[in-house]
Structure 1
Amino acid sequence: MFTAIRLVPLVPQVLALPSPLQLEAANQGLEQEIIERLQIEERLRQQSEREHLLGSITQHIRQSLDLYETLNTTVDEVRQFLQVDRVVVYRFNLDWNGSIIAESASSRDFSIAGQTIHDPCFESLWQEPYQQGRISAIEDIHIENIQDCHRELLESLQVRANLVLPILYRETLWGLLVAHHCSGPRHWETWEIDLLQQLMTPPNIAIQQAQLHQQIQLLNLRLEQQVRQRTNELQRALEFESLLKRITDKVRDSLDEDQILQTAVEELALGLSVDCCDVRLYNADRTACTIRNEYTTTLPNYRGYEFQISESPSPGIHEQLLQGVTSQFCSTADDLVQAGRAELSSMACPLMDNEGVLGSLWLFRATQEDFNELEVRLAQQVANQCAIAVRQARLYQTAQQQVVELERLNRLKDDFLSTVSHELRTPMSSIKLAIQMLEIQLRSLNVIDTASSSIGRYFQILQNESQREINLIDDLLDLARLDADVEPLALTSIDLREWIPHVAEPFEMKTQSQQQQLILEMPENLPSLTTDLAYLARILTELLNNACKYTPAGGRITLSAFVDDRYLKLTLSNTGVEIPQNELDRIFDKFYRVPSLDPWRHGGTGLGLALVKKLVERLGGSIRAESSENQVIFTVELPLGWLNFSSVLLV
């Protein structure tokens, strides 16, 4: 009851209806709210699309370093967003003309991709404003106040409305981003312009990345080229080193000057792939030059040509060569020697050693390409090796000439000695016979029976000296016969154990009288020997006589015989004397005496050991001398059996 009474006053208020004015005002407010909400939704949609577009382009830039791919993606996204007929990126050249490097068009009819566009009024009207960042928005080219040249250009491109934004790179006008509407006029919204301004940042980043990537690519390319170049240089250097070693080995293997130089020019010409290589040698006073050796493939051959340096059209080159300087130059047809070598790249290196310039090494190449550093160094090294080899070859030739001359003089000496020996043999035989007859006559008169008489002493001197001269003559004649090698060997077989003591027997009394000790050493199973008995006896006699002569009192002389393999070895040693090592190789020379052994005190002719060596070699053996610890040892090796019967007489 209480509740019903309280609600009764409210019924009229609830049942009251709004007036028409109130309803109209409410509808207007609702419509305004709806419009604002739609505008907000549109702005949100546009913002979402802008963010999506910006994010899409930015993401693509991050994923690609290809500038043109990025720009093509940008113009395609912008065209679809603005719903225009064409969007292009226009890049300037140095003359402010430019070309379309990226395009997105709604149809082929609107495509201008790849065209080079010349805007005659751009540089004067638009270059500076765009440089400052100006944006151009033309809604209708027929209404806007623009230059006729600009309108004509846009009409030629089917443009009715366009929107242009500059692309700046490092504060420089790089190009333009242009949106073309071709089907009719177009109003460009502010937010569209703002969007494109925001889109300028990703292309700038893309350009910067692309430029940086291009620089890196160029740097990598240069590095790769440098690596390849360095690798090629190293490979070439190794090839040149091998070539130099091959040339050096070949020129050192020969002492023939012509062969040395010809080998060098051939190997160098083939190794450097030149058309010609030659060596020119100077005369003694370096006034003339001769092309001594040459290798050529296509050019004329001038080998053997001689010319005066003063008459050469390029004497300065020879002046530099004589100073040891390598030259590169271009040959001309004025040079008679180079008549067939005009306009060639040429190089000349001096052939020089420590004694001066011998000549020069010349190389010719039929191109205008200079010789590089490696080729110059190789040519200089080859020239140095040739100079050394030529000097050695000339020294060798000089030495050979001296050897030939010495051999000639030696033959003359031997011939003279042989002739004199033959000429003296007859009178000395007569003198010896006369002395014998004189001795008989004087003894019959009892003139020389007393040994202390002066006549007896003089007569003994006469006998001794005449016999010494006869022995000298006999030795010279024996040497001459051995050198002539005309007498056959009289081979016989002997028992060495019986024969050697028989040969040594005459020296036993001599050694005892000189207070020397003579020792013979032979094994029990010593085999027989087939040899020339007279020659072997002469060998042992000379060696024993020599030992007795130089061994002091109290010294020991030992003669040993033993078999080693297929050879008989005879050794004769004597103590108390030593020969210097530098004299051992000369003691077998004719007339040579060891200075330290006082040769004039012992006498002799100096032919004994020379004759022994000849006799040993005639028997097919060898002899050597050793000296140390105050003793001298002679070792003779003879073959046990004689196999060469062409010049022997068997007895």
Structure 2
Amino acid sequence: MTNQDSALVLVVDDDDLTRMHLCFLMQQAGYQVVEASNGYEALNTYTRVHPDIVLLDALMPVMDGFTCCAKLQALSDGESIPVLMITALYDQASVEEAFAVGASDFITKPIHWPVLSQRVRRLLTANRTMQKLRQQTEQAQLQEAQLRMALEAAHMGIWNRDLQTNKITYSDNLEALYGVEKGTFDGTYEAFINCIHLQERNFVNCVIQQAIQEGTDYDIEFRVVLPTGSIRWLASKGVMFHDASGVAVRISGVDMDITKRKQAHAELQRQNKRSQLFADITLKIRQSLQIDEILQTSVKEVQKLLHADRVFIWRLKSDGSFIVVEEAVVDGVAAVSGQEITDPCFGEDYIQQYRQGRISSIPDIEQADIPPCYVQLLQRFHVRATLVVPIFLQNQLWGLLIAHQCVYPRKWTNWEIQMLRQLADQIGIALAQSAILEKETRQRQELARSNEQLQQFAFIASHDLQEPLRKIKTFGERLKTTCSDSINEQGHDYLERMQNAALRMQSLIEDLLTLSRVTTRAQPFVCVNLAETAQEVLSDLEVRIQQSKGRVEVGDLPTIKADPVQMRQLLQNLIGNALKFHRQEVPPIVKIYGQFFNNQSDQVSVNSEMCEIVVEDNGIGFEEKYIDRIFNIFQRLHGRQEYEGTGIGLAICRKIAERHHGSITAQSKPQQGAKFIVRLAVNSHN
């Protein structure tokens, strides 16, 4: 021990001179020193300062060194303190007694300093070494305990396999991991292989042998069979160690219980498969909008999904009874469809429960707590297990979806129950859609009948109604020609009014015919150059333009696929209205041009899908709140005395636009003109 260690030395001797001399020598050697003159004082001093070594005189009054040493050893940390006994006794008994009470060494008087110095240094060095070993041992024990806890928490075990001896050493919890009773695993490779599931032993053995031959690590998953017969999944990772020549000599590995992960993965796969099955069945149910096909598909798909012996649908009748509407059964099971089923137990109380969403799941009717009459009914059809879920249509109980197992009892799983409930919901949705389709079909049929009646009206109007008008006009003209002198002024007035009324009636009938023929006598769509069509319309309206002193400016107009006759009707009505509804003393100016819908440039491009045709004027205009009104039949914003017309022209324009997959609207302010905007598909089809 060197002086820089500064160990603390307790010197105990009743002889003051000896004690002082020892203290001086220890201090000179670089040690720290405390002293005591007897055994009691030594114990108190030790308890207070905890020295690193005790130099203890054997023979002292009151309490001798032997007794003091024994009491030091009895203290909590006394066993680890080195005690050097100093004695003048040379007999063997005294030496044995010194070691018996716990002395680490002894030295006899007279004391030789070199000997004492070496003894003290060796005892302190040995004590320090023992303390380090003790700390390392405690730390190793702690780490081992922590590792054991970590392995247990992670359901892991570690092992080593000596490839020379083929022996396996392992952690305590590895046996439990493999389901081997503690202490029964003999540590051989054969015992390890025998723990593995029979179907996977060859696979595991081949992987390990290949890893040994190639000197590589391996990472595999396999099953082991526990004593209870249950299966446990393990993940095993082995790391290969080699000697100086590169030969594999040892494998160290860790095995981990991955059963929960495997179960979670398997459950996820089952859920994905169930979701896919549900989606497939739902698609098949929803593919048809015919009630019979929906119900037939439903029972067939549910029967295949559940592997049930019988699946059928009861429909609730208005009187509270049920009727079987569709059924799917396996071979050898009696059919229910077509038979009269009367359930004496199935009263209004049961129906009310199903209205509230009740699901009935009975795994075994012979063990279930159900009325005897219900058991007898089910036994009549050889039923052992039944599952019933309600079908709702627009929140009203429509019927029941029922699955039967007829040969053996069956415990219906939560998944099966929930799946059947969800499928019943899908059936209800499909039924609702079917009802909507049926309603729409009836409406279309009614509309077709109305259109047919309209066509009949158009035929009558074109023949029967116009013939009396022609006679009225003809005889009115003859009366005016032949009897003009004999008719007084009032008669002439009556005759004039009659002829004007006949003309208005004829115009009205012709406009109605035009409106009806937009769809009944439509022509196929062909390429129509709207610029040329506009010029033809202006030629027809030339007289009106001259009379009104107006001007019509035609801009760029596209070529589209359309009915050429109807495009001419459309432009003639719009331009004619623009000329007609002009302000007094203000010549009409009409602009007509085309632009493509959503086109950012001013150029007309035939590649766009939609186009706009704009007819703009500087006429009397109107309030925009009347926009919806002006496109309705017989709707006029001005009296007949102010402006002629039947009030059908814009209705014809709207019908033509709609037939061409387009629309018409307007923008206007009173006395500031109007702008009519027609949007049409460029490549329309009939």
* TM-score where L is the length of structure 1: 0.52
- The alignment status of 1:418 with 2:462, answered yes or no, reads no
Q: Decide whether aligned partners of structure 1 residues 396 and 335 sit closer, same or farther in structure 2, where only a CA change above 3 A counts.
A: farther
Q: CA deviation at 1:355?
A: 3.3
| Counterpart secondary structure, 1:342 | coil
| Counterpart secondary structure, 1:473 | helix
Alignment correspondent of 1:505: 542
The aligned runs of 1:322-341 (5 Å cut-off) are 322-329=355-362, 330=364, 341=381
Kindly indicate whether the alpha-carbon contact (under 8 Å) linking 2:667 and 2:675 is maintained by their aligned counterparts in 1. yes
Alignment correspondent of 1:378: 419
Kindly indicate whether the alpha-carbon contact (under 8 Å) linking 1:326 and 1:349 is maintained by their aligned counterparts in 2. yes
Deviations 1:324-355 (A, max 9, x none): 21111246898898568524321111011443
The one-letter code of the counterpart of 1:426 is: E
Q: Decide whether aligned partners of structure 1 residues 418 and 319 sit closer, same or farther in structure 2, where only a CA change above 3 A counts.
A: same
Deviations 1:77-119 (A, max 9, x none): xxxxxxxxxxxxxxxxxxxxxxxxxxxxxxxxxxxxxxxxxxx
User: What is the distance in 2 between the residues matched to 1:628 and 1:506?
Assistant: 28
Alignment correspondent of 2:54: none
User: What is the distance in 2 between the residues matched to 1:438 and 1:334?
Assistant: 93
CA RMSD of aligned residues (A): 5.3
Deviates more, 1:564-573 or 1:421-430: 564-573
Counterpart pick for 1:350 among 390, 399, 403: 390
Alignment correspondent of 2:293: 259
Deviations 1:516-553 (A, max 9, x none): x6432146xx8999999876654433333344456666
| Counterpart secondary structure, 1:237 | helix
Alignment correspondent of 1:296: 329
Q: Decide whether aligned partners of structure 1 residues 395 and 557 sit closer, same or farther in structure 2, where only a CA change above 3 A counts.
A: same
The one-letter code of the counterpart of 1:298 is: D
The one-letter code of the counterpart of 2:678 is: T
Alignment correspondent of 2:109: none
Alignment correspondent of 2:276: 242
Counterpart pick for 1:627 among 666, 678, 681: 666
Kindly indicate whether the alpha-carbon contact (under 8 Å) linking 1:325 and 1:349 is maintained by their aligned counterparts in 2. yes
Deviations 1:347-383 (A, max 9, x none): 1110114431011111223542321112211111111
Deviates more, 1:464-473 or 1:265-274: 265-274
Kindly indicate whether the alpha-carbon contact (under 8 Å) linking 1:350 and 1:359 is maintained by their aligned counterparts in 2. yes
The one-letter code of the counterpart of 2:311 is: C
Deviations 1:59-85 (A, max 9, x none): x99979699785899xxxxxxxxxxxx
| Counterpart secondary structure, 1:559 | strand
Deviations 1:2-36 (A, max 9, x none): xxxxxxxxxxxxxxxxxxxxxxxxxxxxxxxxxxx
| Counterpart secondary structure, 1:305 | coil
Kindly indicate whether the alpha-carbon contact (under 8 Å) linking 2:386 and 2:403 is maintained by their aligned counterparts in 1. yes
Kindly indicate whether the alpha-carbon contact (under 8 Å) linking 1:309 and 1:315 is maintained by their aligned counterparts in 2. no
Q: Decide whether aligned partners of structure 1 residues 573 and 476 sit closer, same or farther in structure 2, where only a CA change above 3 A counts.
A: same
Alignment correspondent of 1:471: 507
Q: CA deviation at 1:431?
A: 0.2
Counterpart pick for 1:272 among 292, 306, 317: 306
- The alignment status of 1:432 with 2:473, answered yes or no, reads yes
Q: Decide whether aligned partners of structure 1 residues 229 and 463 sit closer, same or farther in structure 2, where only a CA change above 3 A counts.
A: same
Kindly indicate whether the alpha-carbon contact (under 8 Å) linking 2:391 and 2:399 is maintained by their aligned counterparts in 1. yes
| Counterpart secondary structure, 2:541 | helix
Q: CA deviation at 1:467?
A: 0.7
Q: CA deviation at 1:396?
A: 2.0
Counterpart pick for 1:559 among 580, 592, 598: 592
Counterpart pick for 1:360 among 400, 413, 434: 400
The aligned runs of 1:164-175 (5 Å cut-off) are none
User: What is the distance in 2 between the residues matched to 1:311 and 1:362?
Assistant: 18
Kindly indicate whether the alpha-carbon contact (under 8 Å) linking 1:351 and 1:359 is maintained by their aligned counterparts in 2. yes
The one-letter code of the counterpart of 1:464 is: N
Alignment correspondent of 1:540: 571
Q: CA deviation at 1:430?
A: 0.2
User: What is the distance in 2 between the residues matched to 1:327 and 1:643?
Assistant: 55
Q: CA deviation at 1:565?
A: 2.9
The one-letter code of the counterpart of 2:403 is: L
Deviations 1:237-283 (A, max 9, x none): 33222233333344444322222233333333333333332222222
User: What is the distance in 2 between the residues matched to 1:545 and 1:503?
Assistant: 10
Q: Decide whether aligned partners of structure 1 residues 501 and 248 sit closer, same or farther in structure 2, where only a CA change above 3 A counts.
A: same
Alignment correspondent of 2:616: 573
The one-letter code of the counterpart of 1:239 is: K
User: What is the distance in 1 between the residues matched to 2:558 and 2:171?
Assistant: 106
Kindly indicate whether the alpha-carbon contact (under 8 Å) linking 1:577 and 1:632 is maintained by their aligned counterparts in 2. no
Q: Decide whether aligned partners of structure 1 residues 220 and 245 sit closer, same or farther in structure 2, where only a CA change above 3 A counts.
A: closer
User: What is the distance in 2 between the residues matched to 1:612 and 1:606?
Assistant: 12
User: What is the distance in 2 between the residues matched to 1:560 and 1:71?
Assistant: 100
Q: Decide whether aligned partners of structure 1 residues 608 and 319 sit closer, same or farther in structure 2, where only a CA change above 3 A counts.
A: same
The one-letter code of the counterpart of 1:437 is: R
Alignment correspondent of 1:105: none
Deviations 1:290-326 (A, max 9, x none): 2222333335464753646555779875553233211
The one-letter code of the counterpart of 1:236 is: R
User: What is the distance in 1 between the residues matched to 2:532 and 2:182?
Assistant: 113
The one-letter code of the counterpart of 1:626 is: T
The aligned runs of 1:157-168 (5 Å cut-off) are none
Kindly indicate whether the alpha-carbon contact (under 8 Å) linking 1:317 and 1:327 is maintained by their aligned counterparts in 2. no
Q: Decide whether aligned partners of structure 1 residues 518 and 439 sit closer, same or farther in structure 2, where only a CA change above 3 A counts.
A: farther
Q: CA deviation at 1:615?
A: 6.9
Larger Rg: 1
Percent identical pairs in the alignment equals 20
User: What is the distance in 1 between the residues matched to 2:333 and 2:616?
Assistant: 72
Q: Decide whether aligned partners of structure 1 residues 416 and 577 sit closer, same or farther in structure 2, where only a CA change above 3 A counts.
A: same
Kindly indicate whether the alpha-carbon contact (under 8 Å) linking 2:383 and 2:405 is maintained by their aligned counterparts in 1. no
User: What is the distance in 2 between the residues matched to 1:394 and 1:273?
Assistant: 30
Q: CA deviation at 1:633?
A: 2.1
| Counterpart secondary structure, 2:386 | strand
Q: Decide whether aligned partners of structure 1 residues 472 and 399 sit closer, same or farther in structure 2, where only a CA change above 3 A counts.
A: same
Q: Decide whether aligned partners of structure 1 residues 537 and 402 sit closer, same or farther in structure 2, where only a CA change above 3 A counts.
A: closer
Q: How many positions carry a matched residue from both structures?
A: 424
Alignment correspondent of 1:521: 554
The structure richer in helix per residue is 1
* Structure 1, unaligned runs of 5 or more: 1-59, 74-212, 449-453, 645-651
* TM-score where L is the length of structure 2: 0.49
User: What is the distance in 1 between the residues matched to 2:478 and 2:440?
Assistant: 55
Q: CA deviation at 1:411?
A: 2.0
Q: CA deviation at 1:469?
A: 0.8
The aligned runs of 1:61-140 (5 Å cut-off) are 70=183
The aligned runs of 1:589-600 (5 Å cut-off) are 591=633, 593=635, 597=637
User: What is the distance in 1 between the residues matched to 2:387 and 2:491?
Assistant: 90
Q: Decide whether aligned partners of structure 1 residues 313 and 247 sit closer, same or farther in structure 2, where only a CA change above 3 A counts.
A: same
Kindly indicate whether the alpha-carbon contact (under 8 Å) linking 1:344 and 1:364 is maintained by their aligned counterparts in 2. yes
